[in-house]
Amino acid sequence: MTLPEPPDVVRSAYAELVVTDLDRARWFWSELLGMVVQADEPDALYLRGYDELTHHNLVLRAGAEPAASYFAFRVRTPADLARAEAYFGELGCPTRRLPAGSTLGVGAAVRVQDPLGFTVEFFHEIDRAERLVQRYDRRRGAEIARLDHVNIVVPDIPAAYEHYTSLGFGCSETIEDEHALYAAWMYRKQTVHDVAFTGGAGPRLHHLGFFAHESHQVLRICDILGSLQEEAHVERGPGRHGVSNAFYVYLRDPDGHRLEVYSSDYYTGDPDHETLRWNVHDPRRRDFWGNAVIESWYTEATTVLDLDGRPCPVRDVACDEVAVTVGADGFGLSTPESAHPGS
């Protein structure tokens, strides 16, 4: 199939999470994590990081069940909205035009249900926000700077890789072996990723990755959670990723939505940037110090909603590498034998 020209995606920009208790969500995301409240409505909060110069990186919307409504990519020009509509229309995906203001602070947008089953928004115009880069006096918690990436759970990693390659994304890193692709990190902005894939029953949202500049900000939010006896919000880490080299911690918000505080990855903007390929048996791939990944990180994720706000049914994993290969990308259970075959 020859597809029309895809929209020119600049970066991952924001996402909307449905939360069941907006006050508790505000406490977690704003008071503890330190995201800035940009706008406050009776049923929604609009939050951004300190470096962000646009209206928001996250919308928290009150609802009956936790879910992820959509995630959004900024596109380079207003004409890219029509490109998004034509491109996804040609793929047979449902598409919807949103008039300016449908999301507070955002201009006209196009929402699609993509071939992987996710509701994805494309927008160009968004209100400017006050520059807080050097308002050190206002910083709290993890001192979140901006949204860095979205990680999605998909049953078919090669299909996700092909889809985002067609959309013009580069691939910075993979986890693979001679038989299969287990995970991939793909970018439009000049960092390791805007989107990455975790294998499992999907479509589901795995996590939102928020950028902090320095590793001490990752440690500080862990210390704060410990002091408040809120340590149950810490799910995985802190640690150093093999993939991306980022210093990280994964937290779960009061509704179980997973977020990552992600700091200090690297530049990928050269045109001949090469993909770094990790073997699935390398114990350093997901934690450079070889710490095991806990099971919930692989299995638990957030329900995603379709264009009409209904939960998307999930499809099970096509080829479960955990079941077929001892020490593969499952539960961090690499054995010495699988890490160094034959030794």
Q: Which residues bind Ca ion (CB under 5 A)?
A: 234
Judged by CB under 6 A, does residue 244 bind ligand 4SX?
yes
Single out the segment in contact with ligand 4SX by CB under 6 A; choices: 10-18, 80-88, 163-171, 240-248: 240-248
Judged by CB under 6 A, does residue 246 bind ligand 4SX?
yes
Of the candidate residues 30, 151, 268, 302, the single one contacting ligand 4SX (CB under 6 A): 151
CA distance 259 to 142: 12
Q: Are 283 and 333 in contact (CB under 8 A)?
A: no
Across the strands, what pairs with 45? 40, 60
The item of Fe ion, ligand 4SX, Ca ion, none sharing an interface with residue 234, based on CB under 5 to 8 Å by kind, is Ca ion
For residue 20 the two structure tokens come to: 């069941």
Q: What are phi and psi of 142, to 5 degrees?
A: -85, 0
Of the candidate residues 200, 242, 327, 332, the single one contacting ligand 4SX (CB under 6 A): 242
Of the candidate residues 114, 143, 156, 260, the single one contacting Fe ion (CB under 5 A): 260
Of the candidate residues 209, 237, 283, 330, the single one contacting Fe ion (CB under 5 A): 209
CA distance 298 to 57: 25
Q: For the window 277-316, what string marks contact with ligand 4SX as x by the rule CB under 6 A?
A: --------xx------------------------------
Report the nearest approach of Ca ion to the CB of residue 228 (Å).
14
Of the candidate residues 122, 164, 197, 262, the single one contacting ligand 4SX (CB under 6 A): 262
The item of ligand 4SX, Ca ion, Fe ion, none sharing an interface with residue 246, based on CB under 5 to 8 Å by kind, is ligand 4SX
The item of ligand 4SX, Ca ion, Fe ion, none sharing an interface with residue 276, based on CB under 5 to 8 Å by kind, is none
Report the nearest approach of ligand 4SX to the CB of residue 38 (Å).
25
Pick from 84, 100, 94, 102: nearest CA to 119 = 94
Single out the segment in contact with Fe ion by CB under 5 A; choices: 51-59, 127-135, 259-267, 290-298: 259-267
Report the nearest approach of Fe ion to the CB of residue 318 (Å).
22
DSSP string for 84-153 = HHHHHHHTT--EEEE-TTSSTTB-SEEEEE-TTS-EEEEE--B-B----TT-GGG--TT---EEEEEEEE
**Using CA of residue 306, residue 311, residue 316, residue 320, what is the dihedral sign?**
positive
Judged by CB under 6 A, does residue 58 bind ligand 4SX?
no
The item of Fe ion, ligand 4SX, Ca ion, none sharing an interface with residue 283, based on CB under 5 to 8 Å by kind, is none
Half-sphere exposure of 107 toward its Cβ, with a 13 Å CA cutoff? 16
Spell out the SS3 assignment of 295-329: HHHHHCCEEEECCCCCECCCECCCCCHHHHCCCCC
- 152-191 residues near Fe ion, rule: CB under 5 A: none
- Residues binding Fe ion: number (CB under 5 A): 3
29 or 211: CB nearest Fe ion: 211
230 or 320: CB nearest Ca ion: 230
Judged by CB under 6 A, does residue 146 bind ligand 4SX?
no
Q: Are 44 and 89 in contact (CB under 8 A)?
A: no
103 or 151: CB nearest ligand 4SX: 151
Pick from 309, 321, 286, 313: nearest CA to 63 = 309
C-alpha angle 174-255-148 in degrees, rounded to nearest 5: 35
**Using CA of residue 42, residue 48, residue 52, residue 56, what is the dihedral sign?**
negative
Report the nearest approach of Ca ion to the CB of residue 188 (Å).
33
For residue 265, which amino acid is it?
D
For binding to ligand 4SX (CB under 6 A), which residues are involved?
151, 196, 209, 241-244, 246, 260, 262, 285-286
